């Protein structure tokens, strides 16, 4: 069933915005009959609005969750030993236990890191943003520091850049750089970059060449580098300007300032507050480069 309202949207887009995952990941929920709109089982292609009565697995979704929320993005420094699922049958610790509480939605991780990998993760409450950042067409670079066993020859490096065949297809590094003062006995440190996020891809590329990986740490994802002062297990929320820089990089519309959305009829600002707000709004817009100096987490780049 499809809503006839002029404000309707695809059902998977609404569910993604409500925090059920990316658009792609919520499609099976609809296809398997777990979603109802106004009492009828929904199907892929259906459209709805936030005013419709939407149920997921027989649980009614609050209207406040279905309405468009301001985009929130956090950077998280994942320690080793935590998994990226919400619940674990083995009782292992998850990353979600360390994240700040979010209202009217839930955190969606943009990509994953396996149990023994540490470093930068990005999480958002915007399912469409998560979907685009993970989509291959946007070619979001992932950069890692990796410690491998054995002497790595130039021939091996060229081979990994040209592409090696794994069980799920060809994989390659776009850049490989040996790190200065990297030798630790028979172990060597490298900095590698790739544009995909397949399961354990970095480890499998190295292992295909006979070099087991003993340490793996992600330092960058797309525009973001991990802030130097962000401790393991901690998070940092991006500013409104930084959020809009990222939205633009994946062809999404910029959002209004959160403190400007519902002022009229709700907040009475003093003359002094108004002047201060106008001064802030009229400042010269900073570039991504300027933002990197301000927060230490942005990097030039984006869609290629």
Catalytic hit among 58, 114, 251, 259: 114
Nearest to 58 by CA among 36, 85, 76: 36
Catalytic-residue membership of 114:
yes
Catalytic residues: 114
């Amino acid at each position: 069933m499809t809503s006839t309202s002029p404000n309707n949207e695809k059902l998977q887009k609404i569910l993604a915005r409500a925090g059920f995952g990316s658009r792609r990941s919520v499609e099976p929920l609809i296809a398997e009959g777990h979603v109802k709109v106004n009492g009828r089982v929904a199907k892929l292609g259906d459209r709805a609005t936030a005013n419709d009565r939407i149920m997921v697995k027989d649980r009614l979704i609050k209207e406040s969750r279905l309405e468009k929320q301001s985009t929130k993005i956090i950077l998280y420094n994942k320690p080793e030993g935590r998994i990226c699922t919400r619940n674990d049958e083995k009782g292992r610790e998850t990353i979600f236990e360390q994240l700040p509480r979010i209202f009217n939605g839930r955190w969606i991780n943009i990509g994953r890191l396996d149990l023994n990998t540490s470093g930068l993760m990005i999480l958002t409450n915007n399912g469409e943003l998560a979907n685009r950042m993970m989509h291959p067409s946007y070619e979001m670079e992932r950069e890692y520091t990796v410690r491998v066993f054995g002497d790595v020859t130039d021939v091996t490096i060229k081979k990994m850049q040209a592409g090696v065949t794994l069980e799920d297809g060809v994989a390659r590094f776009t850049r490989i750089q040996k790190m200065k003062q990297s030798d630790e006995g028979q172990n060597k440190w490298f900095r590698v970059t790739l544009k995909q996020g397949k399961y354990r891809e970095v480890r499998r590329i190295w292992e295909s060449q006979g070099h087991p990986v003993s340490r793996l740490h992600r330092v960058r994802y797309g525009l973001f580098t991990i802030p130097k002062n962000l401790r393991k297990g901690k998070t940092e929320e991006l500013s409104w300007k930084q959020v809009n820089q990222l939205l633009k990089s994946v062809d999404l519309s910029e959002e209004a300032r959160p403190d400007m959305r519902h002022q009229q009829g709700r907040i009475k600002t003093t003359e002094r507050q108004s002047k201060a707000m106008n001064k802030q709004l009229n400042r010269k817009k900073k570039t991504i480069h300027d933002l990197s100096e301000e927060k230490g987490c942005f990097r030039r780049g984006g869609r290629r």
